[in-house]
Structure 1
């Protein structure tokens, strides 16, 4: 199954971390025979534990992500690097840039606007020149959003889209310490550097922006729609940046006037109103609290620490159901349902990252290079892989 003459097909960086172990477990169960996989990180002892736990004989690479020469050797040794080592603002750029220069494909779990914007600026041209596919956000952020919209757009005949809405119908699962730490680092960066704040909340942060004058955008998503209450989805601002980059990379194939937003459906009546209000207030309070040192210090005492997560029983109960509704300029609206019987932030994200790495290593993909998105880099190939592992990605007419 070798893809080229490099030592490895896939190196998983951060395999001993909480989400890294889920990713490694899936690779151990699902990689094709003959796939050359290695695991990497700072601690040989912890990586040895992963090998014993999984019963695999993968090589171990000790890598300090702060050392340019070590990261360059890592990138040159493999066809694909998949990394769970965040926050990516702190630990990710050397790895992404080394891969871009070496012609090595790369996948991560970033949900950090500032990091991805800087990666595009620093790495897109180098990756285009080397043939590397640098693909950020290959987990729950932002594969359901990106594939959901992209598959619906194809089913609608690939005509421009007037509007699209992602609705979280149900979601059960915890928030990882790594996700909280990524948000914490981004808030600290934005607080100290005014030039970076424009990236957060700007749907076109990863593009030059459309060339046409946009109509006035709708509200945040808070309120009642068709008798049911809804609230903004906490990762919606970031996910729309990924979706709009897919739009840009396809020559604004979704349409320069497409308005996209993400919401959480909370139900009808007073209970739905109360849930929507709690989500809206809680998300805003968390972001605001992490932005200021005094409240950040208090939150640090109660929020999960990096590398930690919920119990195995809680993860086992996880699942999610998401609808992405697309309204084209002509023809019938289309819906993609994206669902899985996995905790979105752990088991589900581990599978999504592992299958992204396998797709980048072994699938016959579109002839694209640069800093890409999951839909542009892998598209239907990744969707088929996920369907083979109990993911639902059903596309049909919206009645």
Structure 2
């Protein structure tokens, strides 16, 4: 295992981008005194501007030049810190060289990816290397996919504590106010481009177990659609009203949660079926709203797949590095409620909620606390030899406690 002696605890790579800057700002305000933090990016001049805006706490933070196209600079970056936090995407374009550098150096790594094919390639190419060095490569440490992954994690913990068997049909219901980031849109474009002319990659991206360590070992639970187009609330839980709509992040989040189940030896159960939907209220109009949401999402994907309409969409959709103003970020919020029935017939739910735009303000908290979990509490983390892991399997209760301390509600109970 590679030595853990490094000059810095955490480096924020991509600190001049929108979410990278928000993450650096969060760490400047909330990292414990004495935490050694650095900022990295292509331009030292721009990094100096960001550091100057972060206040006295960041005045002495080192600045490191690193470029996704310069593997030597990425190796130097990985050697400098215990944890690299990266917001530089789309990850399929820019992410793999840094994953490699961290895996080889035994450096822990966290990112914000919601890209199935990038995560799959990272697993295939670098999981064994990271295990050999002890590096924890933890993808999806923002709104993709911490509320989903930790929501099922704490749900399962409560079921196990009560001795009520394992999880079966489980549905996450999302309520949120906030925008879709330009980075998320760019990731969607990239995956559409990659799969457009490759049937094998399309099948891989469509598989419900596309991120599982061994897809042949997964149980055959029948069809598990990427996005449930429309479902009545009472079908999820008797107390839920209205209709639920497709959730745009479900195709990625569901695969992360299934990977967590497999990496933990199917701790959630071999009969665990998982899906995600979005709440659109409980009024008489919700069926029409749910249909409308599905139509918009379908239209967006179709539009990005067709050159003439993509040209138009590229001019109106948010671009990478763009985001809402501070007032809008603070007015956002999210709540995710996971409902399950266990093999004993008992019903449970878990809730994760937080104030702040999910894709920006809340994501900066989740990413920052994920990095601090690895840098400051590594001895308390779930036992693991390293590898390409998930938030639940790499960070577990340490991150749960840190997010609670940061103002998140995280709870589970029997219904």
Which one is further off, 287-296 or 343-352?
Answer: 287-296
Quote how far apart the aligned CAs of 1:319 are.
0.6
Structure 2: how far apart are the matches of 1:348 and 1:212?
34
Structure 1: how far apart are the matches of 2:81 and 2:223?
47
Quote how far apart the aligned CAs of 1:43 are.
1.3
Structure 1: how far apart are the matches of 2:47 and 2:370?
22
Q: Deviations over 1:122-167 (max 9, x none)?
A: 0100000000000000000000000000110011017421111000
Structure 1: how far apart are the matches of 2:197 and 2:328?
37
Q: Deviations over 1:235-262 (max 9, x none)?
A: 1111000000001100111122211000
Change in Cα spacing, 1:221 to 1:165, as seen in structure 2 (3 Å) is farther
User: Which structure 2 segments of 5+ residues have no match?
Assistant: 235-240
Which one is further off, 150-159 or 6-15?
Answer: 150-159
Q: Which residue of 1 aligns with 2:238?
A: none
Change in Cα spacing, 1:395 to 1:200, as seen in structure 2 (3 Å) is same
Q: Which residue of 2 aligns with 1:140?
A: 143
Asked if structure 2 preserves the Cα contact closer than 8 Å seen for 1:8 and 1:38, the reply is yes
User: Does 2:124 align with 1:90?
Assistant: no
Q: Which residue of 1 aligns with 2:12?
A: 12
Quote how far apart the aligned CAs of 1:270 are.
3.6
Structure 2: how far apart are the matches of 1:180 and 1:262?
20
Q: Which residue of 2 aligns with 1:122?
A: 125
Q: Which residue of 1 aligns with 2:231?
A: 223
Quote how far apart the aligned CAs of 1:214 are.
2.3
Q: Deviations over 1:38-77 (max 9, x none)?
A: 0000111211111111121200001111111111111111
SS at match of 2:196: helix
Change in Cα spacing, 1:213 to 1:5, as seen in structure 2 (3 Å) is closer
Change in Cα spacing, 1:331 to 1:273, as seen in structure 2 (3 Å) is closer
Q: Which residue of 2 aligns with 1:390?
A: 407
Structure 2: how far apart are the matches of 1:320 and 1:367?
30
User: Does 2:115 align with 1:108?
Assistant: no
Asked if structure 2 preserves the Cα contact closer than 8 Å seen for 1:10 and 1:82, the reply is yes
Q: Which residue of 1 aligns with 2:237?
A: none
Quote how far apart the aligned CAs of 1:215 are.
3.8
Which one is further off, 205-214 or 309-318?
Answer: 205-214
Quote how far apart the aligned CAs of 1:14 are.
0.5
Change in Cα spacing, 1:131 to 1:193, as seen in structure 2 (3 Å) is same
Number of aligned residue pairs: 395
Please report the RMSD computed on the Cα atoms of aligned residues, expressed in angstroms: 1.6
Structure 2: how far apart are the matches of 1:31 and 1:267?
37
Asked if structure 2 preserves the Cα contact closer than 8 Å seen for 1:175 and 1:345, the reply is yes
Q: Which residue of 2 aligns with 1:48?
A: 48
Q: Which residue of 2 aligns with 1:172?
A: 177
Change in Cα spacing, 1:216 to 1:115, as seen in structure 2 (3 Å) is closer
1:192-231 correspondence to structure 2 within 5 Å: 192-207=197-212, 208-209=214-215, 210-217=217-224, 220-226=228-234, 228-231=242-245
User: Does 2:163 align with 1:160?
Assistant: no
User: Does 2:81 align with 1:78?
Assistant: yes
User: Does 2:295 align with 1:281?
Assistant: yes
Structure 1: how far apart are the matches of 2:342 and 2:375?
34
Structure 1: how far apart are the matches of 2:357 and 2:223?
36
Change in Cα spacing, 1:53 to 1:121, as seen in structure 2 (3 Å) is same
Quote how far apart the aligned CAs of 1:188 are.
0.9
Q: Which residue of 1 aligns with 2:68?
A: 65
Q: Which residue of 2 aligns with 1:326?
A: 340
Quote how far apart the aligned CAs of 1:191 are.
0.9
Change in Cα spacing, 1:102 to 1:266, as seen in structure 2 (3 Å) is same
Asked if structure 2 preserves the Cα contact closer than 8 Å seen for 1:322 and 1:337, the reply is yes
Asked if structure 1 preserves the Cα contact closer than 8 Å seen for 2:10 and 2:82, the reply is yes
Structure 1: how far apart are the matches of 2:270 and 2:346?
20
Which one is further off, 69-78 or 144-153?
Answer: 69-78
User: Which structure 1 segments of 5+ residues have no match?
Assistant: none
User: Does 2:390 align with 1:373?
Assistant: yes
Quote how far apart the aligned CAs of 1:292 are.
2.2
Structure 2: how far apart are the matches of 1:318 and 1:216?
34
Structure 2: how far apart are the matches of 1:395 and 1:309?
32
Question: When the two structures are superposed, what TM-score results if normalisation uses the length of structure 2?
Answer: 0.92
User: Does 2:326 align with 1:312?
Assistant: yes
Q: Which residue of 2 aligns with 1:188?
A: 193
Quote how far apart the aligned CAs of 1:94 are.
0.4
Q: Deviations over 1:64-99 (max 9, x none)?
A: 111111111111111100000000001100001110
Asked if structure 2 preserves the Cα contact closer than 8 Å seen for 1:200 and 1:238, the reply is no
Change in Cα spacing, 1:128 to 1:4, as seen in structure 2 (3 Å) is closer
